[in-house]
Structure 1
Amino acid sequence: MDISPSQGHEPLINPAGPEGLAVTPIDFASSPLAEHYNSFFAMTIDNLLTPDECIKLQNAAGDDWQTLSKGNSFRECQNILVFSPQWASALYDRIVTHLPEEVKALRKGNELAEIIAGPSHLKASVGARKTVWRIKEANERLSFLRYQPGHHFKPHCDALYARPGKDERSFLTCQIYLNDAPEGADGEPSGGGETRFWASQVGNRQKSAEMEHDTEEENEAPFLDVKPKVGKALVFQQRMLWHSGQEVKHGEKFTVRLDLMFERFFEKL
């Protein structure tokens, strides 16, 4: 399915972009997760979309929500998949302007590049020409997500998507919040729905399995939260960065998720 990026003559996403954009790198080095993710990449972009654009985008995606349930309540939410190169391109143009230059071209020998892409993706060469992964576009597959009370996504790492028949990989996820975080009730400080970064669980499958079923264990582990805010984008590396969608306790949480794609080149460096 491909959906036009406009309704009538009015674009869903204004090419001019909104005012008041604010880019904030997530500083893991000064967070409770410093020993795990000292140099890892994540950032937020406040007001990437206006509230009106969020409403239009969500409404245009439709209401054919499909239930997602995976692995003994590991993930519970609803989604709508929209395949639209036009929407993906419009969002990508808005996002890529605000990415750091060192994230747009991933090369061997650059610490951040090796953390984002991993050594195995950077080791190939052709003579004196070395691998460089250059950011290209957003994948046309957009996943609209709805979390209602009780819905959640347990700690996991996003998979790197390889586009069939092409030398392209996704290394970054972009999550755009389409509404504000749910409000707490009865004195609760939060209604849930935060995107929560967790300490690395690599090499500790036992602990990972326990955390899937033990809320008390989760509450004691170090974490860093990003609170949903309408129009805010969270961009972060997919490789080895553990995160969850915390349980929504009240109201609803709406987001749209897309992969940022890189293409491999061989360049003389």
Structure 2
Amino acid sequence: MDNSTVQAHEPLLNPSGPEGLAFNVTPIDFANSPLAEDYSSFFAMTIDNMLTPEECAKLRSAAGDDWQILSKGNSFRECQNILVFSPEWASALYGRIVTHLPEEVKALRKGDQLADIIVGPSHLKASMGARKTVWRIKEANERLSFLRYQQGHHFKPHCDALYARPGKDERSFLTCQIYLNDAPRDVNTETSGGGETRFWTSQVGKRQKSPEHEIGEEKETPFLDVEPKLGRALVFQQRVLWHSGQEVKHGEKFTVRLDLMFERHFERL
């Protein structure tokens, strides 16, 4: 285990949340956005006030300060991270998240349009006679990735990989990104200091014009931004949904990322 990895076992959060916490759930309506052509029926949503400011500070503090540089090929990704392996923390966060997910996302059945989009045909093929595949949400992966983006840090457009647990019929189909501070601001002008999670038009089957013309660098490329907000959770499908972490221009951005795991069942439909 390298020194960027933390094992955490103590309870940290109440899964049901503190009394009086006013959650605000907002589906992201891609059908009425600049990305409608590619993502009309895709799934993403935000949950505001999922964590209190005190809980965000507690999470940041509990993760420690042993930040490690995380960099991928030719500045594709630049940030710092701490990995925390904690079933207890993951379970508490999952308890907050799953309450607000729509029912049609919790059980993804073969033949449903949303299942085809989120899961993909290859993971819906298997059946057992009259019983057909259904993927049921189970829990959050115990691997929590705490991320710190400082000035100049970014994560260029990509799609999240589906995580498969070894030896188990489980896959991650949803990412949850929880913002642990507000979007950084320019202290002089109060304009955004960057750090948005930006959804981009799909690059499936498309070729870039040249290496220097990457997605997002052309003004004509459609996009949709989600701004970091203290205590906000962004939940979105991992499969073929292109997104980036925009460059932080002022201040810092703190988040914690986790995968939502699904288990395959066979049910008579």
Aligned: 1:163 with 2:165 = yes
**What displacement does 1:208 show?**
8.5
**What displacement does 1:16 show?**
3.7
Q: 1:5 aligns with which of 4, 10, 14?
A: 10
Instruction: Output the amino acid matched with 1:5.
Output: E
Alignment of 1:157-196 (within 5 A): 157-187=159-189, 189-196=191-198
Question: Is the CA contact 1:157–1:238 (under 8 Å) kept in the aligned structure 2?
Answer: yes
Q: How much identity, in percent, do the aligned residues show?
A: 81
Q: Helix, strand or coil for the counterpart of 1:201?
A: coil
Match of 1:257 in 2: 257
**What displacement does 1:151 show?**
0.0
Change (3 A) 1:24 1:208: farther
CA distance in 2, matches of 1:88, 1:265: 23
CA distance in 2, matches of 1:62, 1:133: 35
CA distance in 1, matches of 2:105, 2:221: 29
Question: Is the CA contact 1:179–1:253 (under 8 Å) kept in the aligned structure 2?
Answer: yes
**What displacement does 1:188 show?**
6.7
Match of 2:205 in 1: 203
Could you list the structure 1 runs, at least 4 aligned residues long, displaced by more than 6 angstroms after superposition. Answer: none
Instruction: Output the amino acid matched with 1:36.
Output: D
Aligned: 1:93 with 2:85 = no
Instruction: Output the amino acid matched with 2:13.
Output: I
Instruction: Output the amino acid matched with 1:254.
Output: F
Question: Is the CA contact 2:15–2:94 (under 8 Å) kept in the aligned structure 1?
Answer: no
Match of 1:267 in 2: 267
CA distance in 2, matches of 1:65, 1:157: 24
Match of 1:59 in 2: 61
Question: Per residue, is there more helix in 1 or in 2?
Answer: 1
Q: Normalized against structure 1, the TM-score is what?
A: 0.94
**What displacement does 1:192 show?**
0.1
Question: Is the CA contact 1:163–1:169 (under 8 Å) kept in the aligned structure 2?
Answer: yes
**What displacement does 1:108 show?**
1.2
Note the residue ranges of structure 1 that are not aligned, 5 or more in a row.
7-11
Change (3 A) 1:104 1:79: same
User: How many residues get paired?
Assistant: 262
- For residues 73-120 of structure 1, what are the alpha-carbon distances to aligned partners after superposition, in whole Å with 9 as ceiling and x for unaligned? 000000000000000000001100000000001111110111000011
CA distance in 1, matches of 2:241, 2:210: 14
Q: Normalized against structure 2, the TM-score is what?
A: 0.94
Question: Is the CA contact 1:175–1:256 (under 8 Å) kept in the aligned structure 2?
Answer: yes
Question: Is the CA contact 2:200–2:216 (under 8 Å) kept in the aligned structure 1?
Answer: no
Q: Helix, strand or coil for the counterpart of 1:220?
A: coil
CA distance in 1, matches of 2:240, 2:77: 19
Instruction: Output the amino acid matched with 2:161.
Output: A
Alignment of 1:1-269 (within 5 A): 1-6=6-11, 12-18=12-18, 19-187=21-189, 189-207=191-209, 209-212=211-214, 216-217=217-218, 219-269=219-269
User: Larger deviation: 57-66 or 178-187?
Assistant: 178-187
**What displacement does 1:14 show?**
2.5
**What displacement does 1:177 show?**
0.1
Instruction: Output the amino acid matched with 2:239.
Output: R
- For residues 41-85 of structure 1, what are the alpha-carbon distances to aligned partners after superposition, in whole Å with 9 as ceiling and x for unaligned? 000000000010000011000011010110100000000000000
Change (3 A) 1:50 1:225: same
